[in-house]
Amino acid sequence: MSFPTVLLLAVLAQAAPPQKALDLVQEVSQRYANAKSYHVDAVEERSSSSELSRDWQKSFMTAIVIPGGHYRYEGRYFGGNAVLISDGTSEWEYLPDQKAYTQRPVSSDDAAKRRIRPQDEVAALNAKAMVGNLSHLAEALKSATFLPDENVVIAGKNADCYVIRAADVMDDFRVRRPNSAREWTLWIDKSRKILVKKLERATPLSDVPVNGMPPRTTETTTIYPVVELDKQESASTFTLNAPADARLVEELPNPFFPGARSAMIGRPAPELHFKSADGKLSELSSLRGKPVFLDFWATWCGPCKGLVPDLLKLYQETSPLGLTWVGIDNDQNPDAADKFIAKENLPWPNYHDLDGSMGAAFQRNPIPLGVLIDARGNVAFYQVAYEMKDLRAAIGKLGPEFGSVAKTAEASSANPTKKPD
């Protein structure tokens, strides 16, 4: 074999992808899943447009974790700015724009579940979920193919990348997106086997309006300027050095949105489309004639999970009386929601809102969000971070058969539970 031929084969072997595209994504996802410590920064830009409107958003996120309950999550977006920190003993929530912070001992899981998060913390909570979502990225893909390699500049540094085009798991019953198709383009650093750039595109499959809104095309580009796996940061990273003008408060501002509430109460509920595990399609409007409770939640939402014991009790009381229950989760990884549902033995049907269309129809922003719809199909109760006594009182007004539920609410109000010291 001649020297030029050997050289050509060597070059081709070096340039060829090392494995199938889906296998490479799985390998990269597993790297994030195996990391015991990490520092990941992300800059996300999202643009959304329809025939009649266009908008753009940008978020900055940081996630730093080491063993022993040490974490630092930072997030900044149009709705606020927040820093969440723990040194394993104490934890802080700091809102720079509000110049306010809380400090408390690290909570047990049960105590943390009931803590209500302000709107400012949305991006920081997204930062908290970031590495977990990346560790499950391969699970969301149906197919993947290699595109030509690219050299991209990330934070001023060149990265020689494999480029992969991937399609969504459209046929999976857990993913209900009848009005859009999603695809990803992934840039994977060849030498480090990490994701340095991600482009997600959701394209309408039809020009038919959804819930009265024209179909929208959404593009989300995420750059990861810092990705350090299994490298520990110094201990000083995990303590809050609050500015002198920041005040220590007992509780941060509550995330209620009265504008959305006033716009929904008393009006017909927007239409929602559901797809069950056996592939059967149904609509929210098909339940007309029965009152319906919608629970908007997610596994990453502590207050949502904290409501579960009370919701289970309320379900046992109200389901025999004719109240229909529906859960709608906002997890990017549907497996996380399915595992939680199985663990807690939740008896009501649940649907995954991966594209956010069901949440958008009900103007959902923060969660938990509880929505009660009367038998005529009108919204009777709409509340973010709702309390059980308020939900019970609203159910009691649905009809005389629900009177006992209202009496329980009155008893709870007359004998409030004492907060733990």
pLDDT in tens, 241-283: 999 999 999 887 655 455 555 568 888 999 998 877 677 888 9
Class of domain 258-414: alpha beta
User: Is residue 2 scored above 80 in pLDDT?
Assistant: no
Between 207 and 268, the more confident residue is: 268
Structure tokens at 59: 């978020």
The answer, yes or no, to whether residue 215 has pLDDT greater than 80, is no
Least confident of 137-141, 190-194, 265-269, 369-373: 137-141
pLDDT for res 312:
95
- The pair of three-digit structure tokens given for residue 153, joined into one six-digit string: 């500049």
Helix (H, G, I), strand (E, B) or coil at 184: strand
Question: What token pair was written down for 276?
Answer: 């069950």
pTM (2 decimals)?
0.65
φ, ψ for residue 22, nearest 5 deg: -65, -35
Q: State the helix-helix crossing angle for 122-135 and 21-34, rounded to 10 degrees.
A: 120
**Token code pair at residue 178:** 């009848």
| Alpha-carbon separation of residue 200 from 77, 153, 162, 164, 214 (angstroms) | 19, 19, 17, 12, 20
Q: What number of CA atoms fall less than 13 Å from residue 200's CA on the CB side? A: 17
Per-residue pLDDT, 85 = 97
Q: In the chain, list all ranges with CATH 3.40.30.10.
A: 258-414
Q: What percent of the chain has pLDDT over 70?
A: 82
Tell me the mean pLDDT in the region 22-41.
95
pLDDT one-digit tens code per residue, 110-121: 445 455 667 788
Instruction: Work out the pLDDT band at 210, boundaries 50, 70, 90.
Output: low
Q: What is the pLDDT of residue 258?
A: 52
- pLDDT of 63-108, one tens digit each? 999 999 999 999 999 888 999 999 999 999 999 998 999 999 987 6
Separation of alpha carbons 278 and 135, rounded Å: 28
The confidence band for 408, taking pLDDT boundaries of 50, 70 and 90, is: low
Pairing of strands 157-168, 141-154: antiparallel
Lowest mean pLDDT among 82-91, 93-102, 165-174, 185-194: 165-174
Amino acid at residue number 319: S
Pairing of the two strands 292-297 and 324-329: parallel
Name which of 8-17, 137-146, 348-357, 395-404 the model is least confident about.
8-17
Helix spans in 100-196 (H): 109-113, 122-135
Closest CA to 293 of 366, 340, 346: 346
What confidence score (pLDDT) does residue 220 get?
93
Which residues make up the CATH 2.50.20 domain(s) of the chain? 19-236
Write down the H helix ranges in 249-327.
258-264, 302-306, 308-318
CATH assignment, 19-236: 2.50.20
pLDDT at 296 over 60: yes
Which of 162-166, 195-199, 258-262, 365-369 is predicted with the least confidence, judged by mean pLDDT? 258-262
Predicted pLDDT at 179: 54
User: How many degrees, rounded to 5, is the angle at CA 374 between CA 371 and CA 377?
Assistant: 95
pLDDT band per the 50, 70, 90 thresholds, residue 358: confident
Q: Do β-strands 350-352 and 324-329 pair in parallel, antiparallel, or remain unpaired?
A: parallel
Question: What's the mean per-residue pLDDT of the chain?
Answer: 83
Question: Could you tell me if residue 285 is left (phi over 0), alpha (psi between -120 and 50 degrees) or otherwise beta?
Answer: alpha
